[in-house]
């Protein structure tokens, strides 16, 4: 009896361990087109937020230091700025201490604008020790957004509720407008590179995104609008609680409020965990639109939560050393430039100190200052690209996660990504005409 043996000539590790496709997210994120897209997106986001701040946040009224009289303030302030003396604070400044053991709070101002209320003096509060998850559980999501906004803008201001809501809405809308274009282009490049192993240029990606731009922007908004519609019955039923008979009627309809609240909770949960999958859905599917993005996102999030979590953890494991590598590479390249400047140029150390913010260029010539500012701008943009790597990796990795979840849930191959070829670029009549022209040329 003859023995037949099959020789194993290779192992397709991508089929055995499909999650290895996520390693391609690093190569996508460090590519020059993706770094440029992420950098421009981050720059436009911060610029838009700064403009929104200047338009929505009123200027804070000036507060004079303690002990300054009205005459002294008029000599150093514009005449149209009117200050009034605060007797209580002025008395606190002039009154001597009766007992050294008694601590009298130091006043913050003795002169103030007429329409400005003096803030109460109290102990300095420390940062909130609670974790982000604990603050989310008690409904402090808007506060977290404000803290994130202040972290990016580098300012800490106490705003009223209306201004805070307005800034949150404007910032969120600007995020959708900016990243609905730049993030969509990154996901379009990523799904083709990770799924098909092919490259796509910026011009092609821009053409694809331009056709579906409205879908990219409206996908998260569609879920939020649905939550608003579902919350309307809750508000209408709650209006009945304003009078006694209405409480009885509301109790009969309370089951409707419970069902609506459950629906809103499901939508918000799916949006919170699944929104990064929306844009890869539109980029990878031929029929990618708002409905396709919402349905697939919620299906994959709720049907495969364990696989989703596993793929996210794998992405984090790849992301941590990647960030260290990119940041250290940027620092090394900058140190090489600094070393070359110190060796070849006498003013190299001065320019290096200017780039690091240690000195100013007062007294230097105008051409020297202009050249130093151009060099500083280039270094700033290089650091921006290094920081924007995280944004590019985020969109690239979730593009790979979407393809893996689609493979797990729908059993769709990873390389089944929509591309514009001759069959999709031309219609039936165009194909017939093109075929007739090609056959005519061949016969002639």
**Residue-number span of the structural domain to which 43 is assigned:** 18-60+133-211+304-434
Task: State the DSSP string of 369-405.
Answer: HHHHHHHHHHHHHHHHHHHHHHHHHHHHHHHHHHHHH
CA dihedral 37, 41, 43, 44 (to 10 degrees): 130
Task: Give a yes or no: residue 363 inside a domain.
Answer: yes
Q: pLDDT-derived band of residue 100, with 50, 70 and 90 as boundaries? A: very low
Structure tokens at 221: 């908004």
Q: C-alpha angle with apex 116: 115 to 122, nearest 5 degrees? A: 155
The total number of residues shown for the chain amounts to 444
SS3 assignment, position 362 = coil
Task: Give a yes or no: residue 96 inside a domain.
Answer: no
Task: Give a yes or no: residue 331 inside a domain.
Answer: yes
Residue 122 pLDDT exceeds 50? no
The total of structural domains in the chain comes to 1
Structure tokens at 3: 């023995």
Task: Give a yes or no: residue 8 inside a domain.
Answer: no
Q: What is the pLDDT at residue 40?
A: 92
Task: Give a yes or no: residue 31 inside a domain.
Answer: yes
Task: Give a yes or no: residue 325 inside a domain.
Answer: yes
Task: Give a yes or no: residue 240 inside a domain.
Answer: no
What does the pLDDT look like over 144-174, one tens digit per residue?
555 665 655 555 556 666 777 788 888 889 9
What does the pLDDT look like over 277-308, one tens digit per residue?
999 999 999 888 899 999 999 999 999 999 99
Structure tokens at 29: 């994120």
* Lowest mean pLDDT across 106-110, 378-382, 417-421: 106-110
Task: State the DSSP string of 20-47.
Answer: GGGGHHHHHHTSHHHHHHHHHHHHHHHH
What does the pLDDT look like over 252-272, one tens digit per residue?
889 999 999 999 999 999 999
Q: Which of 314-318, 325-329, 345-349 has the largest mean confidence?
A: 314-318
Q: List helix spans (H) across 159-289.
A: 161-179, 182-191, 202-211, 213-239, 244-274, 278-284
Task: Give a yes or no: residue 73 inside a domain.
Answer: no
């Amino acid at each position: 009896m003859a023995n037949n043996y099959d020789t194993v000539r290779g192992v397709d590790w991508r089929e055995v361990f499909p999650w290895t496709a996520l390693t391609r997210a690093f190569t996508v994120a460090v590519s020059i087109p993706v770094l440029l897209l992420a950098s421009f997106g981050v720059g436009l986001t911060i610029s838009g937020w700064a403009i929104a701040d200047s338009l929505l946040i009123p200027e804070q009224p000036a507060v004079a230091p303690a002990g300054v009289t009205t005459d002294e303030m008029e000599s150093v302030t514009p005449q149209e700025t009117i200050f009034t003396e605060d007797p209580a604070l002025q008395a606190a400044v002039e009154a001597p201490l009766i007992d050294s053991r008694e601590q009298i709070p130091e006043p913050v101002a003795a002169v103030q604008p007429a329409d400005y209320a003096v803030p109460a003096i109290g102990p300095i509060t420390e940062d909130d020790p609670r974790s982000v998850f604990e603050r989310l559980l008690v409904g402090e999501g808007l506060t977290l957004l404000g803290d994130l906004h202040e972290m990016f803008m580098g300012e800490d201001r106490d705003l009223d509720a209306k201004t805070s809501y307005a800034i949150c809405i404007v910032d969120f809308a600007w995020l959708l407008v900016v990243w609905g274009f730049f993030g969509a282009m990154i996901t379009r490049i990523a799904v083709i590179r990770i799924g098909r192993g092919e490259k796509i240029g910026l011009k092609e990606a821009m053409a694809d995104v331009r056709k579906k731009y409205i879908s990219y922007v409206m996908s998260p908004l569609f879920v939020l609008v649905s939550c608003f519609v579902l919350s309307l019955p809750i508000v209408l039923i709650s209006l009945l609680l304003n009078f006694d008979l209405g409480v009885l009627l509301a109790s009969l309809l309370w089951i409707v409020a419970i069902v609506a609240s459950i629906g809103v909770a499901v939508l918000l949960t799916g949006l919170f965990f699944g929104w990064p999958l929306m844009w890869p859905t539109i980029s990878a599917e031929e029929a990618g639109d708002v409905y396709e993005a919402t349905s697939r996102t919620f299906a994959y999030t709720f049907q495969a939560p364990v696989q989703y979590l596993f793929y996210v953890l794998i992405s984090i494991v790849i992301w941590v050393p990647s960030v260290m590598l990119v940041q250290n590479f940027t620092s090394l390249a900058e140190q090489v430039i600094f070393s070359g400047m110190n060796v070849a140029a006498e003013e190299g150390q001065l320019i290096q100190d200017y780039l690091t913010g240690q000195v100013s260029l007062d007294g230097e010539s105008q051409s020297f200052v202009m050249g130093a500012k151009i060099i500083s701008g280039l270094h700033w943009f290089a650091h921006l690209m290094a920081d924007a790597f995280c944004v590019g990796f985020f969109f690239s990795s979730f593009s790979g996660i979407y393809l893996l979840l689609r493979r797990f849930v729908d059993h769709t191959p990873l390389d089944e990504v929509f591309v514009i070829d001759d069959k999709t670029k031309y219609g039936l009549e165009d194909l017939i005409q093109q075929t007739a022209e090609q056959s005519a040329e061949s016969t002639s």
